[in-house]
Amino acid sequence: MISEDDRRRTAYHEAGHAIVGMLTPGADPVRKVSIIPRGQSLGVTFSAPDADRFNFEQQHLLAQIKVALGGRSAEEIVFGDITTGAESDIQHLTRIARSMVGRWGMSRAIGPIAVIPQDGMSPLLPGAAETSESTQRLVDEEVRRIVESAHAEVSALLREHRGNLDSLVSALLEHETLDEVDAYAAAGLPRNQEAAAEPQLTLDAAHTTAAPDGPLA
């Protein structure tokens, strides 16, 4: 049985994902937000594009990172602490940021070069030539820069829209699950038509809050 404190924290976590998704250009429209536990997941925020995607645009990738950070950032702002609930979010955003830098040439510091770990075992580009330690260090620095910059922007966004966050949380605590129309209405925000109109290839549609003692989500 989930405690009321955990239920409230989960509501803020999922609402954080949703609010960032609703306000960030390039993010997929929010389709559903729920705080009903299922398996090892304490809650879920589901987003999906209006049309199939066939290319990754940098704006969309950065938006995905920001949305993934929304849950953890909301916890930081509201509770002054963080939990293990953002584990799958962190894995997801790290994978995107590392691919941006090491696979898709979206870092000015690295340029349009594919880089992989020196052991040659990389999910990014198997079989590519090894790179130097200094280049790998630069990759790590660029990944950190992207994520930390996104985290700062997300924190500022949620602080600015704290009222929208609280309103969505209140609705989640009352109804537990909100569909697209109800979620946007509860948050007091219009649907992001600009974000929804750009056809791109989606990465990970759902963000879940995992139970701390369970397997990876």
**DSSP readout, the chain?**
---HHHHHHHHHHHHHHHHHHHHSTTPPPEEEEE---BTTEEEEEEE--SS---S--HHHHHHHHHHHHHHHHHHHHHHSS--GGGHHHHHHHHHHHHHHHHTS---TTT-S-----TTS--SSSTTPPP--HHHHHHHHHHHHHHHHHHHHHHHHHHHHTHHHHHHHHHHHHHHSEEEHHHHHHHHT----HHHHTS-------EEEEE-TTS---
Residue 87 annotated in active site: no
| Active-site annotation holder among 4, 14, 148, 174 | 14
Residue positions annotated with a catalytic role:
14
